[in-house]
Amino acid sequence: MGMDISMTNNKQIKVIIADDHAILRAGLKQILAETDDIVVVSEAENAAEAIRLGCQPDADVILMDIALPDRSGMDALKYIKHVNNHIAVLMLSMYKEDQYAVRALKSGAAGYLCKQSASSELVNAIRVVAKGKKYITPEVAEILANQVGIENEKAPHESLSDREFQTMTMIASGFSVGEIAEKLALSVKTISMYRTRMLEKMQFRHNAEITHYAIRNHLVD
């Protein structure tokens, strides 16, 4: 049986897993344990831990949930990349490849994986981003391709900040301002401010218009 010499000479890819669900972390670790070239060096269950670990120089890739309990994965992504540009950040999400994937890539992520397909794509994705390349699925490539040439004709929601966009999609999904505040661990006053800014930018008057727009533009299922 031939041995892959390049594999034996290369050092192992060191990975951090940041997700608040212990079962999911265990599942990802199990998949990676079957490889020779990838090793999980540490785990985080919230954004604070992910930032602390991700800002240290001793890992190559961090797998990070986009929805962490104490702070959004998008916030953590931007902070980590600002401090430690060397690390490749692979975002994990419950959402299928959509506007969140594009936002993650534009914020410095090396790739974006939907959790439903993570098990089959995970190993390949880690190997790709560890080489300094972007891991882009055909679905995300299509979204990015559709944006080329229409940068001057951006959809209205492209002007929203990440928090304003998140507030808009959650309102469109039927959550109240209070429920959103609870889910994002922010104050009702802060979410109300995001909603007000979002309404102004989008020129909406009430939640029904938000929902209608989000459905029409496939921002929510």
Q: Write out pLDDT tens, residues 66-109.
A: 888 888 888 899 999 989 989 999 999 887 656 678 888 888 99
> Model pTM?
0.66
Q: Which two tokens stand for residue 217?
A: 């533009």
- Give all strands (DSSP E) within the chain, no chain letters: 13-18, 38-44, 61-65, 88-93, 111-114
Asked whether the predicted pLDDT for residue 126 surpasses 90, the reply is: yes
Label residues 130-149 b or e (16+ Cβ within 10 Å = b): beeeebbbeebeebeeeeee
How many whole angstroms separate alpha carbon 184 and alpha carbon 95? Answer: 16
DSSP state of 55: T
Residue 146, pLDDT score: 72
CATH architecture assigned to 5-145: 3-Layer(aba) Sandwich (3.40)
Asked whether the predicted pLDDT for residue 214 surpasses 60, the reply is: yes
Report domain extents, the chain: 5-145, 154-216
The residue that leads in pLDDT, 151 or 12, is 12
Reference 17, options 63, 77, 50, 59; nearest CA is 63
Please write the tens of the pLDDT for every residue from 201-211.
Answer: 888 888 888 98
Please write the tens of the pLDDT for every residue from 31-52.
Answer: 999 999 999 999 999 999 999 9
Percentage of residues of the chain with pLDDT beyond 70: 90
Residue 7, pLDDT score: 43
Residue 94, pLDDT score: 80
Rg (CA), the chain: 19
| Class of the domain covering 154-216 | mainly alpha
Per-residue pLDDT band at 149 (split at 50, 70, 90): low
Residue 154, pLDDT score: 66
Report helix, strand or coil for 25.
helix
Per-residue pLDDT band at 147 (split at 50, 70, 90): low
